[in-house]
C-alpha cells in the first residue's frame, strides 16, 4: 500500500463529511498524485494570507498512515497518534485523538506531551503553517494487522468519520456561549 492512497481517500471522504456539516473546506492536495509537504504548506499560507483581516479561523489537519523502522518489514509498532506544536493545537489534537481511538479501537499512542515529539521530529507541516494544526497518524502500514485495516474502504470511512467528529467537536468548543 502506498501511504498517499490511504491519505487521499480519507481526506476526500472527510472533506465531503465536513461540507455536509456546513464547514467550509479546502483540500490542499486535490491532484491525483502526491505533492510535497512544502507545496501543501505554501498553499495553506496563501489561503491564510488571502483571508487577511477577515478574522477567519483556519484549521489544518495533515492525515497520514505511520511506519516504523525502514518500512520494509512488518513489526509490532502499532496504534494511532495526533501531534501538534501549539497550545490551541493541543486542544485540536486531543479532540481528533479521542474520536480516532474510540472509532478504530487501535492503541492510543498519545503521550503526556505530543508537543515535545513534534518538536523533536521538527514536523514541517506543523512548524510552518499559520493555521491551528495537527498531524494524525491513523495506524501503522508496517504492522501486519493494521496494514490490512488501512487497506479497507470500511476502515478508511471509519477514520474519516472519527476525524470529522473531532473537528466538529473542536469547532463547537471554540464557539462563544449563547
Q: Is the pLDDT of residue 94 over 80?
A: yes
46 C-beta neighbours (distance < 10 Å), count:
10
Partners of residue 140 on adjacent β-strands? 66
Residue 120 has a pLDDT of 47
C-alpha cell recorded at residue 5: 492512497
Q: Is the pLDDT of residue 117 over 60?
A: no
Q: Averaged over 10-36, what is the pLDDT?
A: 86
3-state secondary structure of 147: helix
- Provide the percentage of residues in the chain whose pLDDT is more than 90: 51
CATH topology of domain 3-174: Aminopeptidase (3.40.630)
Confidence of residue 38 (pLDDT cuts 50, 70, 90): confident
Q: Is the pLDDT of residue 78 over 90?
A: yes
Give me the residue spans of the domains in the chain.
3-174
Amino acid at each position: 500500500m502506498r501511504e498517499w492512497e490511504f491519505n487521499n481517500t480519507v481526506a476526500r471522504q472527510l472533506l465531503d463529511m465536513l461540507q455536509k456539516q456546513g464547514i467550509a473546506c479546502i483540500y490542499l492536495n486535490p491532484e491525483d498524485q502526491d505533492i510535497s509537504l512544502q507545496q501543501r504548506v505554501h498553499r495553506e499560507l496563501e489561503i491564510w494570507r488571502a483571508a487577511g483581516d477577515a478574522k477567519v479561523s483556519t484549521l489544518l489537519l495533515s492525515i497520514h498512515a505511520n511506519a516504523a523502522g525502514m518500512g520494509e518489514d512488518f513489526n509490532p509498532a502499532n496504534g494511532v497518534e495526533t501531534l501538534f506544536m501549539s497550545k490551541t493545537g493541543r486542544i485540536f489534537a486531543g479532540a481528533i485523538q479521542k474520536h480516532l481511538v474510540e472509532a478504530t479501537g487501535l492503541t492510543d499512542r498519545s503521550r503526556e506531551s505530543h508537543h515535545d515529539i513534534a518538536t523533536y521530529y521538527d514536523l514541517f507541516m506543523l512548524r510552518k503553517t499559520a493555521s491551528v494544526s495537527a498531524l494524525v497518524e491513523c495506524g501503522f502500514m508496517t504492522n501486519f494487522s493494521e496494514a490490512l485495516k488501512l487497506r479497507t474502504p470500511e476502515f478508511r470511512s471509519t477514520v474519516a468519520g472519527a476525524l470529522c467528529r473531532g473537528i466538529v467537536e473542536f469547532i463547537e468548543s471554540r464557539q462563544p456561549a449563547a
